Structure 1
Amino acid sequence: MNPDTITAPASWASFPSGTLPCASCGIPARDSIDAEVEVLQVFGRSGSAGYVPPRHDLLVTRCDQCRMIRQTALDLLSANPSVRQRIGAAEIAVHRLESALCALDAVGTTEPRAVDHLTATGADLVRLMDALTVPGGHARWAALARSASFVKAPSTPPSRARWSHLTPEQRQELRNTAARLLARRTEKPVDVLAPSDDGGPSGCMLCGVGAVEALREDAESVWTLMSADSASIGGPGRADSLDGVVCPRCDLAIDQAHGVGISAMTLSVRSFLGLPSYLRSLDNIDGLIGWAALPSGTAPNRRPWAHLDLGELREAAEALIGRAA
């Protein structure tokens, strides 16, 4: 063993005999044969270059309640495999979701209906983790022990009650973040009009829709500034470029097509008609023209692509979807 490596006893000096710290809420938990025990590694500073820094290997477990939180994270990821695949390693995904659920528990959001409301879909899980994984991870008692000095780490005191180790500042941060998340789930979206230079009615440069629904706090980021050659979006050639904005659907289509043009408009139309990406029919759609290439003064659309007759395309798309079902 490297002489600079120190392995401390697995017991914690400040915990009652027969208990281990709950790595999440921090209360003493019974060290039973059925308990899931993990090693918490706490590193010190290396004395010189080239040597492994000294390390404490300290055992932690989870209390019954925090064990249920971890099991909930496992169950939710099992029910939403695409979320786990998006993150990568299963253990990382579990840690992120468990930390986010711990944040809810720490601020008292434990009522099953409230938690179900925030974890109903894969998209909800992603939003939950984006908002609460980091503050929830910092709230865990294991983070407190790791933040102590190397010498004092094994003497980190237990929590008198669940999450009592949190500072008032940490608790307030968790409350604020959880409240914003809950507000986003209950807030009703509003119509956000396409901006224009003169303040008059405008629309998406491609599909022509004049307004899209979004939450109020997202209103400023809904529309994306864009420029395009008139000919590239089906209009007459002209010397100057067309400037305007695009809606989220058309912005995504432009990203997927790697540029503004017929390919992007085709992808946007397919998305509007509800054609899944794996159905390769209708890859080429004739007669597409972007709204920005229409004569000046054309009113924006109430629905995407309303300036085009998509009746036959819609029937074809519905038939394809029906055969694929």
Structure 2
Amino acid sequence: MNGTPSNPHTTPFSRLRAALTERITRMTTDPNLNPDGPAFHPLRDLPAGTIPCALCGVPVAMAGDRDIITVLSLGSQRDPNSAHPEALLRHAQAQETTLTMTRCDTCGERRAAAVLAVAEFPEGRGRFRQAVLAEDAAELALATAAALGIPLVLGSVRALRFALDYLAPLGHGLTWRGRYSPRMVAAARRDEAASAPFSAVEPELLDEARRTFAEMLAARTARVVSVAEPGGSGCYLCGVGAVEVLSSAKARAWTTLRLRPETVGGRGGDLVVASVCWRCNDEFERQERTVGDRLMQALVLRAAGLENHLAARDLILRPTAWGVLGRREPNQSPWQHLDLAGLRADIESGQTGIEVAR
């Protein structure tokens, strides 16, 4: 060892990821894939007697046996005069509207494939403890691949797990439903549809999906290892005692944060050095390195599979970190000390709350 840090862009994993990204970009930006050539427009008027597919956006003729998907939208405008959460919520509620969508035959097959994969490979559900949440996520993963025009088969525990971890978080933003919920994009209209499946997806979102798909493929070729919390305890925030990472990323499995227990549901304003897992630390980075209610809420909603749930967007939760409870045994799964199933039931029934699991 000469002490010179390795260049992250020259590792085998990063070279593979870069090569896959380039290949996927070439595959999915071929002009010949454009259905109607240079004159093609991604949107069209919604024909009479049809409703859009909630996933790909194409118009679908109404039939008695089709599923009806009701989408709630909070409109496209935010209150410019107040940043107070209650004022924002009142302003959003004033713009609430519902849209009726369905699934086209092809997206119906994707839904069936998602349900089948979750039933056949329950070990691949990962953080999704409830089957229906895993089915929704698997459907979004398949939608992400379909938007790129890349076949995706969820034919193993590993394939399902990686698809849920990498592709599902992007899926909502790529779907037609994602144009309207939780907030309608500025140019969206109720009386339009996609001219071709997923033709309305913004190029920037497709670029992100290509990079993520390449990263997923590269990760699937790497070895995954479980790394326990260095002190034999658990993550101070979510409480999990071990996390899975790529063998090349073991060094980032755990890190430490300096925080005050009172900011994560405990008592005391003195700084403590807390060991946190990589998932909690990644969200900490996304939240501009700020520990508090916003970070905790984002982590809990994601663990409950509610990060894209419209009714959860304007909630104010104050969940309790595992580290302030004084427990010795770590959680077997993230946030196991909270009643995540109860939280989802409350949100779906219009009630809210989060309790420490007794």
TM-score by length of 2: 0.45
TM-score by length of 1: 0.49
